[in-house]
Amino acid sequence: MSDVASLPRLRPANCQLPVSWYFDPEIFAREKKLLFDAGSGYVGHELMVPNVGDYQTLAAAKEAGAVTINYGAFLNLVLDFLIVALAVFLLVRAVERMKKQEAPAEPTTKKCNECLSEIPKAARRCAFCTSPAPA
């Protein structure tokens, strides 16, 4: 075993606060009053402070009367539209596929075997070459 704990340089410092002070609500309230309520207000690290003319939200910029380019809102609107349009397209396509397809109509003409022209189905002779019509 080591005797590191008995070395004099590892003894607690005289300036160390008691642990109970870190969790005491009364001390917290006093610190809050002295540090935060008296000053202009803590805003965070200096890199978190916005530059002059910067706004945290779009609503804050509009309230201040700043000119804004709302490309994010526009892109969101376009994306929403495309999603709805795709859903409607897929729905219409599915309904069209589900419709019962009609059987093709019976042909009213037939081809002549000699001249390959179209003649009425009831004809007995071809009107073009006068050959007997196919059955």
Q: Is the pLDDT at 1 greater than 70, yes or no?
A: no
Count the neighbouring beta carbons within 10 Å of the beta carbon of residue 58: 13
The model's pTM is: 0.35
- Quote the tokens at residue 7: 């070395």
Give the contacts of 10 (CB within 8 A, at least 6 positions apart): 4
Rounded to whole angstroms, the Cα distance separating 134 from 56 reads 86
* Inter-residue contact 113 to 125 (CB < 8 Å): no
The string of pLDDT tens digits covering residues 64-81 is 888 888 888 889 999 999
pLDDT bucket at 49, cuts 50 / 70 / 90: low
CA 4 to chain centre: 59
